């Protein structure tokens, strides 16, 4: 296995407030999609059941592919005061 699929659920609460839930990490995209099928009728999730909504700031499920053995955020990060 050289990559994994991260399944998260995003709920936009307000303009500056969101809730991101990590659902699971899967060996294939099909496994991640199957997990959505198991969860999309559960409370909370059923209100935002879309997979990879058209706009990246929409509530719903997001599936991301990550190669194994790669660093992310290698350049660090900055803090933005709100």
Q: Give the pLDDT confidence of 70-81 residue by residue, as tens digits.
A: 999 999 999 888
Under a CB-based contact definition with an 8 Å cutoff, are residues 68 and 1 in contact? yes
57 pLDDT above the threshold of 70: no
Cα(21)–Cα(61) distance, integer angstroms = 9
Cα(43)–Cα(16) distance, integer angstroms = 23
Q: 1-23 in b/e burial notation, b at 16+ Cβ within 10 A?
A: eeebbebebbeeeeeeeeeeeeb
Computed from CA positions of residues 56, 75, 28, 43, in that sequence, does the dihedral angle turn out positive or negative? negative
For the ranges 11-20, 27-36, 69-78, which has the lowest average pLDDT?
Answer: 11-20
């Amino acid at each position: 296995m050289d990559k994994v699929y991260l399944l998260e659920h995003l709920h936009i609460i307000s303009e500056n407030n969101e809730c991101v839930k990590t659902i699971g990490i899967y060996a294939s995209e099909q496994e991640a999609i199957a997990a959505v099928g198991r969860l999309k009728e559960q409370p909370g999730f059923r209100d935002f059941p879309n997979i990879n909504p058209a706009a990246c700031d929409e509530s719903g499920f997001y599936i991301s592919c990550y190669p194994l053995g790669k660093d992310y955020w290698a350049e660090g990060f900055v803090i933005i005061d709100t």
